[in-house]
Structure 1
Amino acid sequence: MHKQKAEISENPAKRLKPAYAIIPVILGLGVTGYLLYNEFNPSAFDAINFTWLSVFWLLVAAILMIGRDIGYSLRLMVLSEGKFRFWKALRVIMLWEFTSAITPSAIGGTSVAIIYVNKEGLNLGNSSALVMITSFLDEIYFVAMFPLLILFAGYHNLFEISSVPGAAKELITFSIVGYSLKFLWVLALIYGLFFNPRGLKWLILLIFKLPILRRWKHGANRAGTDIISSSKVYRNKPLSFWVKAFLFTFLSWSSRFFVVNAILMAFFGVGNNLLIFARQLVMWIMMLVSPTPGGSGFAEFVFTRYLSEFIPVDASLLVSVAVAMAFLWRLISYYPYLVVGSFIFPRWINRHFVRKT
């Protein structure tokens, strides 16, 4: 068997271009515009009170997004065992988020992230391992938090939508299926990473020999190889290593979910912050299956339906105000990655690929 090269030669610019950033913007603004066109009520502006307290909470929302990126960067520093300094880790995160923002949510930026990590100084095996472990930690967060939030928030509160009667059953079914898949994947990764990586790769390849899955067998083979690489690098790490990595994972995801809480507090002083937080976790599971880049359009639509009941305005104004809040949410939590990535990505490509050719 030939050895893997220590460095990847594929230029990610062949798959991604900064111009692709315009696609999710068009989709997001298109859905926002459509919802406003059908539901807009000029009186909605009177229901939004902008005060100095609004400025404070919007700053909190921005700080939470910064905290998310800091958490991700610190996690990358831990997983690379100090090979990445903070600014290098942050650059990788910005590139990674840009890639995720312009690719469908179900695909994400994982495959290209291996290239980013590799070109920033880790060999191919360690790059694949690091990206695999970040995915593993993210899944652990969801698997751990979902039942806890159901316990504390209550599943009726989590899934009942007053504006959409009868939606609870579908949401519960969707969430159980999504959670079950995540839970089974986490169990498989634990088995593969810490006990029998080659056995898990064999099982994955066996499953992907089925006719309905055969078209993805090459990707399954790469995933199996990544699991073996990850196991070699991480299986004997001390407990303190995993505690630090998960704490930074917890910081990152929790900061992301609290952004909506801060935005709603900016204008309405809402209660039920735990329930709002919990619903965002469920909403994120929905967004993972979105076929649009970064969930654009789909995210705005789900926000207006799933979180609108926490906006205390008259029913005739609710959709208009909810659409405005959804746009503000994406403006703070999503569009900045498109802007920053559009500047960083071409320069990074030029430094690592163009000058070498």
Structure 2
Amino acid sequence: MNKDQTNSQKKLLHGVRPSRIVYPILIGIAAVVYMLSKEVNGKTLSLIEFSWYSLFWLCIALIMMIIRDLGYMARLRILTDKKFSWGKAFRIIMLWEFTSAITPSAIGGTSVAILYLNKEGLKVGKSSAVVMSTSFLDELYFILMFPLLILFLDINQLFMTDIHNQSLWLDSLLYFALVGYLVKTGYFIVLTYGLFWNPRGLKWLLLWIFKLPVLRKWKRGANQAGTDIIESSKELRRKPFWFWLKAFIATFCSWTARYWVVNVILLAFLFQGYSITEHIMIFARQLVMWIMMLVSPTPGGSGFSEWVFTKYLGEFLPSAGVAAAMALLWRLISYYPYLLIGVFILPKWIKKHFSK
């Protein structure tokens, strides 16, 4: 590898340095503290009763996150034809999640993920193919599940809340969800077309778009992305249906387990006896929340995620203060662990691969 390539990789990694965990932590905690300061009082705290029953369900919530990570690891092994061991797959997934946690949701960890895979032994073309395959499968999950849940629950149920006996049509959240879903659908269509039908046409489109004055300085990167797409397409079009089915099953298990975390957290404190329909509604609203987070400019959706949680899931909780407390607990289980694990793993990984 030449010096210019190494320097560009180091520059890319500089954007995901461990010190950047400070920003999402401060933003998220500040948002929760603000909401708690407005809503929490002695009566609010008395509504939260911790018991051995609560501990049991919180352990189940952690197990859900483990299932989620195992699903991602299994998918990575499938997409790489088991080139990576479970240990190496764990390391890559944790680095990938750490990168996603400290960058805005719309950016994610995709660009750096190619570098992670390449440094762990995959060629650049193969690394690009794997990363783009994960994007394809993730978007496929959202694009299929969102309309199915709307059909099952009705859009009025999904975007109307009843907080403290006051019905509220959440127009802003609806718009966020629609914009996020349209962005995801557009990206999925372009990615599918480029990967499986016309990769050279997609590269041409990218180069044409990046001729615009405001985007011209990134034209070189767009050219490399187009080349990666062409290389990825050669890899992916040879894969059989069974290969994609196994990868999608792993994707389905991973995302579904992640969404069940909130359901389990609410069960831990038994705020009410939720029916099956209510559980599906809670699950569906988390899917919509994740689509909304796509347009959040903050790292990992910090602040925005906690606010949406309290507004969008508040009707399933006895008060706004309790909703804010549950939002913090949700993030402690599903978000902050990746920041801590990444801080531990990333410096060692950089030292191992860039020490020379």
Pick the TM interval, shorter chain.
over 0.9
CA deviations on 1:19-47 (whole Å, 9 max, x unpaired) are 21122111111111111112222211211
Asked if structure 1 preserves the Cα contact closer than 8 Å seen for 2:97 and 2:338, the reply is yes
CA deviations on 1:108-164 (whole Å, 9 max, x unpaired) are 111111111111110111111111111111111111110111111221111112238
Q: Percent identity?
A: 58
1:47-196 alignment runs, 5 A limit: 47-163=47-163, 167-196=169-198
Q: Which residue does 2:354 correspond to in 1? A: 353
Asked if structure 2 preserves the Cα contact closer than 8 Å seen for 1:70 and 1:252, the reply is yes
Q: Distance in 1 between matches of 2:41 and 2:191?
A: 50
1:309 to 312, 315, 328: 315
Q: Please state if 1:286 is matched with 2:287.
A: no
Q: Distance in 1 between matches of 2:37 and 2:302?
A: 18
Secondary structure of the equivalent of 2:105?
Answer: coil
Asked if structure 2 preserves the Cα contact closer than 8 Å seen for 1:71 and 1:249, the reply is yes
Measured after TM superposition, the shift of residue 215 of structure 1 is: 5.0
Counterpart residue type for residue 98 of structure 2: F
Asked if structure 2 preserves the Cα contact closer than 8 Å seen for 1:79 and 1:245, the reply is yes
TM-score w.r.t. length of structure 1? 0.92
Runs (5+) with no aligned partner, structure 1: none
Runs (5+) with no aligned partner, structure 2: none
Moved more, 37-46 or 302-311: 37-46
Measured after TM superposition, the shift of residue 190 of structure 1 is: 1.8
Count residues in correspondence.
346
Q: Distance in 2 between matches of 1:187 and 1:53?
A: 45
Counterpart residue type for residue 120 of structure 1: E
Q: Distance in 2 between matches of 1:253 and 1:18?
A: 26
Q: Distance in 2 between matches of 1:14 and 1:55?
A: 39
Secondary structure of the equivalent of 1:288?
Answer: helix
Secondary structure of the equivalent of 2:170?
Answer: helix
Asked if structure 1 preserves the Cα contact closer than 8 Å seen for 2:180 and 2:295, the reply is no
Q: Which residue does 1:332 correspond to in 2? A: 333
1:217-296 alignment runs, 5 A limit: 217-268=219-270, 269-271=273-275, 272-296=278-302
Secondary structure of the equivalent of 1:236?
Answer: coil
Q: Distance in 1 between matches of 2:130 and 2:226?
A: 14
Counterpart residue type for residue 149 of structure 2: L
Seen in structure 2, the aligned counterparts of structure 1 residues 208 and 166 have a Cα distance that, compared at 3 Å, is farther
Secondary structure of the equivalent of 1:161?
Answer: strand
Moved more, 19-28 or 257-266: 19-28
Q: Please state if 1:26 is matched with 2:26.
A: yes
Asked if structure 1 preserves the Cα contact closer than 8 Å seen for 2:177 and 2:289, the reply is no
Measured after TM superposition, the shift of residue 14 of structure 1 is: 2.5
Seen in structure 2, the aligned counterparts of structure 1 residues 297 and 170 have a Cα distance that, compared at 3 Å, is closer
Q: Distance in 1 between matches of 2:222 and 2:307?
A: 33
Asked if structure 1 preserves the Cα contact closer than 8 Å seen for 2:176 and 2:295, the reply is no
TM-score w.r.t. length of structure 2? 0.92
Seen in structure 2, the aligned counterparts of structure 1 residues 169 and 298 have a Cα distance that, compared at 3 Å, is closer
Q: Which residue does 2:321 correspond to in 1? A: 320
Q: Distance in 1 between matches of 2:28 and 2:172?
A: 25
Counterpart residue type for residue 228 of structure 1: I
Counterpart residue type for residue 279 of structure 2: N
